Chains A and B, each alone.
Chain A
Amino acid sequence: MATTTAGSAASTATQWASETPAARAWRRLRRRKSAMLGLVIIVLLVAIALLAPLISPYDPAKQSWTLVRKPPNWAHWLGTDESGRDLLSRTIWGARASLMAGVVSISIALSLGVPIGLLAGYRGGFVDALISRITDAMLACPNLILAIALAAFLGPSLTNAMIAIGITATPIFVRLTRGQVLSVKVEDYVEAARAVGNPAWRIAFRHILPNILPSLLVQATLSIASAIIAEASLSFLGLGQQPPAPSWGSMLNTAQRFLTQAPWMAIFPGIAIFLSVLSFNLFGDGLRDALDPKER
């Protein structure tokens, strides 16, 4: 019996030693129930957003003056709004705006922040000092206030809101990338790459970047949660998605005016924001633990 157990442990150890880093991270991630719950909600939300034209029961912009502010019923599961529009359809289509804002704005932040952080960390000296001071200054401006100011000067629209959120999220990625590069660039394999005459850009993108990807992935996941809240906040203030296009934030803005007559208008878009933010937070937390090298 003892031999069998020892044999099985040895075979598992061999199996673990041969698995790729991605497979190892996935194995650890699967053990975390909360992270898996987050992933399931994310997959569901993405499916809802992609399939919106097929699963939405009504046209989200179609108004009906005979259906104004109807409470939830069999025909309209989440009720209707002040223009008689179906709230379920608007909430389903709203997922598109929120998820798109989360993903696009963080993609902007990554595509700006990572190369700048690589440059600062790898080059050092004056370039690093200059980039670091600008990053400090951007981090000193409270995120949403800077995003409001940017959206105000760029003009209110979902695209400008995504740009504003992306720009305000950039310094986090600059700082994270720079810090990671500083610790990785003294490793032997980077020295070796330099010794064989690789140009700086190749060392940065081929040898350093793949090694700092896990930290960037975790930060990006958690930042998507913040970006979804930021988009909802900007839309709530009227600086994001413009009516009649549906967005959870702008739906809450309208709902506030009809709180006494139609409280259901405020409940469901809020739950949708909460669930999407929660799912990215749960998944991001789990991913951080799964990608932590100390976690064995």
Chain B
Amino acid sequence: MLTFIAKRLLQLIPTLFFVSVIIFSLQQLLPGDPALVMAGEERDPDVLAQIRKQYRLDEPVPVQYLYWVKGVLSGNLGESMRLKEPVLTLVLQKFPVTLQLALMAIVVSLVVGVGAGIISAVRKNTAIDYGVNVVALWGISTPNFWLGIMLIFLFSVHLGWLPASGYVSPFEDFWLSIKTTILPAFVLGNSFAAVLMRHTRSAMLQAMSSDYVRTARAKGLTERVVVLKHAMRNALTPVITLGALELGTLLSGAVLTEQVFSIPGFGKLIVDSVFNRDYAVVQGVTLVTATTYILLNLLADIAYVLVNPRLRS
């Protein structure tokens, strides 16, 4: 097991290296003099000189990259031009908000997606199965920002049950926090639930037609025990890995969901930074998001090996 983890960690090194190269290269796409673009309206020669010095724009590109990576490795992701704060501080401030939203979305997706997938497989080729498949197709095809707008109209404007926007930390007021994040979490988890449902359905159908399920039935076990104890346990193992591959979609979706519901998380930070030409923040958030995604996939791979005794040896 330790060898497996060590091997996977080693594989991360080239991936992280190329991720850093790609994200650093974004800066090279800026048209004209990067210092002028980064300075925006500011044309003060001192400010321009400071930007050139800060980003070492007078040095060759590979040298700029080495300084940037050195900074990143020591926790220095640069400084926000607009907020005059280190990017890492901003990221750490916003991270818990997006994390809470993502975790709630995962819970919603697991309950709805896995639950519906199991029911759909057990009731294969019935009206319930067709209904669940149609809902899954709807979930995959609906843009989450539109769903968010429609749900705000229904639950906030029309019914007045839930707040339309804003965020309250669970440490300030737990129930108000749940009230402000339940709608965004549902919106964010919607397409993830649809994907999980499809994976769970196909894995369950495969498990239900296997020999050990037939044996369990032959022993006289109830259908409930056969489905929940025998089929589901084995079917959910591949769902972990396939689900982890979709986490990137969840992180991307968070950008739009936070924008629709005015939630001050990662997504809102990157969008605000784009419009304020705060390029260091854009690079920093992209780097942290990509690294988080890579680490989550690593954890999913480890979990997959842990829950599958055949792979452990």
Query: B-contacting residues of A (Cβ < 8 Å)?
Result: 133-134, 136-138, 140-146, 148-155, 225, 229, 232-233, 236-239, 252, 255-256, 259-260, 263, 266-267, 269-270, 273-274, 277-278, 281-282
Q: Rank and list the top 9 A-B pairs by shortest CB-CB distance, nearest first.
A: A137-B18, A144-B252, A270-B146, A142-B248, A278-B141, A152-B274, A153-B29, A277-B141, A142-B252
For residue A288, give the distance in angstroms from its CB to the closest CB of chain B. Answer: 13
Q: How far is the CA of A238 from the CA of B256 in the complex (A)?
A: 12
On whether A154 and B29 interact (CB within 8 A), knowing A266-B150, A273-B146, A278-B141, the answer reads yes
| Residue in A140, A263, A273 whose CB lies within 8 Å of B293 | A140
Residue pair B142, A266 in contact (C-beta under 8 Å)? no
Residue B93 lies at the interface, judged by CB distance under 8 Å to chain A: no
| Distance A152 CA – B23 CA, assembled complex (angstroms) | 12
Chain A residues lying within 8 Å of B146, measured Cβ to Cβ, are 252, 266, 269-270, 273-274
B 290-313 to A, binary, CB cutoff 8 A, 1 in contact else 0:
100110010000000000000000
Q: Is the CB of A142 within 8 A of B251?
A: yes
Check A259 against B157 for contact (C-beta < 8 Å): yes
Is B279 an interface residue, CB under 8 A from the partner?
yes
Given A237-B271, A282-B137: A141 and B18 interface contact (C-beta under 8 Å): no
- Decide if A140 touches B15 in the complex (CB within 8 Å): yes
A169: min CB distance to chain B, Å = 13
CB-based contact A145/B143 at 8 Å: no
Interface residue from B26, B145, B153, B260 paired with A263 (Cβ < 8 Å):
B153
Contact among A142, A151, A255, A277 for B143, CB-based, below 8 A = A277
Give the complex CA separation of A132 and B252 in angstroms: 23
- Nearest residue (CB) in B for A129 is B14
Given contacts A144-B255, A148-B255, A263-B153, contact A233 B143 (CB under 8 A): yes
Q: How far is the CB of B207 from chain A (nearest CB, A)?
A: 21
- What separation, in Å, do the CA atoms of A181 and B199 have in the docked complex? 27
- Taking a contact as CB atoms under 8 Å apart, the answer to whether A270 and B271 are in contact is no
Residue contact A281 to B251, C-beta cutoff 8 Å = no
Q: How far is the CA of A277 from the CA of B137 in the complex (A)?
A: 10
Q: CB distance A259 to B149 under 8 Å? A: yes
- Contact count band on B: 35 or more
Contact in complex: A133, B18 (CB < 8 Å): yes
Pairwise interchain contact A256-B149, C-beta atoms closer than 8 A = yes
A137-B19, A232-B143, A270-B149 given as contacts; is B27 within 8 A of A153 (CB)?
A: yes
Interface of B toward A, CB cutoff 8 Å: 14-19, 21-23, 26-27, 29-31, 137-138, 140-143, 145-146, 149-150, 152-153, 157, 248-249, 251-253, 255-256, 259-260, 270-271, 273-275, 279, 282-283, 285-286, 289-290, 293-294, 297
Complex Cα–Cα for A188 and B270 (A): 52
A136-B14, A148-B282, A149-B283 are known; give 13 further A-B pairs, CB within 8 A. Answer: A133-B15, A137-B22, A138-B18, A140-B15, A140-B290, A144-B256, A150-B29, A152-B273, A239-B274, A256-B260, A273-B143, A274-B143, A278-B141
Judge whether B141 and A281 touch: CB under 8 Å.
yes
| Chain A at the B interface: SS class | helix
Contact B149 A148 (CB under 8 A): no
Contact of A270 among B31, B150, B270, B285 (CB under 8 A): B150
Known: A255-B149, A259-B153, A274-B146. A146 touches B286 (CB 8 A): yes
Whether the Cβ atoms of A149 and B256 lie closer than 8 Å is no
Residue pair B294, A142 in contact (C-beta under 8 Å): no
Cβ distance A44 to chain B, nearest Cβ, rounded Å: 16
Which residues on A sit within 8 Å (CB–CB) of B141? 225, 274, 277-278, 281
A237 touches B259 (CB 8 A): yes
Interface centre among A153, A232, A277, A278 (most CB of B within 10 A): A153
Pick the contact of B251: A145, A232, A270, A274 (CB < 8 A). A145
Contact partners of B27 in chain A: CB under 8 A: 153
Contacts known (A133-B14, A153-B30, A229-B143); A145 close to B153, Cβ less than 8 A? no
- Kindly list chain A residues whose C-beta atoms are within 8 Å of the C-beta of B293: 140-142
B248 touching A143, Cβ below 8 Å? yes
Q: What are 26 A-to-B residue pairs whose CB atoms are below 8 Å? A: A133-B18, A137-B14, A137-B21, A138-B18, A140-B15, A140-B293, A141-B19, A141-B289, A145-B255, A145-B285, A145-B289, A146-B286, A148-B255, A148-B270, A148-B274, A149-B26, A150-B29, A155-B31, A239-B274, A259-B149, A259-B153, A266-B150, A270-B150, A273-B143, A274-B142, A281-B140
Of all chain B residues, which has the CB nearest A133? Answer: B14
Given A142-B252, A270-B150, does the pair A152, B279 have CB atoms closer than 8 Å?
yes
